[in-house]
Amino acid sequence: MFLVNAGFFCVHLILRFRAKKQRKKEMEDNFKIIDSEQGDVVIDFGNKTFKLSLLVSLMTEIILNKKLEELNNKLRDHGSGKLPSYDESYWSSAGVDCQILKPSKNWQKGKIRMKISLEFCPESPLDRLTTQINK
């Protein structure tokens, strides 16, 4: 009897694992970029709330002001040279002049810029039910 119950338990765990893995994949597929320019979107982390525009602005500032130098150092370490020196604001606003080469295409001139975005996946009623069942 123990083996039957153990087998059932094992099958039950495998099915729960597969269902959880499937829900995780579905959730990953449902993430959408939150448009930080669509007004005052507010994000609540339970005990703290933040305006999306503030989070994106500060993340952009930190990444561009602090990390471009680090990126240049890493590029130089790999023997790739370094990025053209522009004011950091060009990287997030006007863009930096460059050329791009895609497979089976010719060089195309244009501009490149960095944009920070956050993504959101709405919780489904099944997520809440699953959480309650697992407790």
Neighbouring residues of 51: CB distance < 8 A, sequence distance ≥ 6? 40, 41, 42, 43
Range of 25-29, 115-119, 124-128, 131-135 with top mean pLDDT: 115-119
pLDDT tens digits along 4-16: 444 444 454 455 5
pLDDT digits (tens, 9 = 90+) for 48-90: 998 888 888 888 888 887 788 888 888 889 888 888 876 777 8
- pLDDT higher than threshold 80 for residue 134: no
pLDDT digits (tens, 9 = 90+) for 17-45: 555 555 555 556 788 888 866 668 898 98
Tokens standing for residue 67: 């990390």
Distance, in Å, from the CA atom of 43 to the CA atom of 52, rounded to the nearest integer, reads 6
Is pTM beyond 0.85? Reply is: no
Q: Under 8 Å CB-to-CB from 21, ≥6 apart: which residues?
A: none
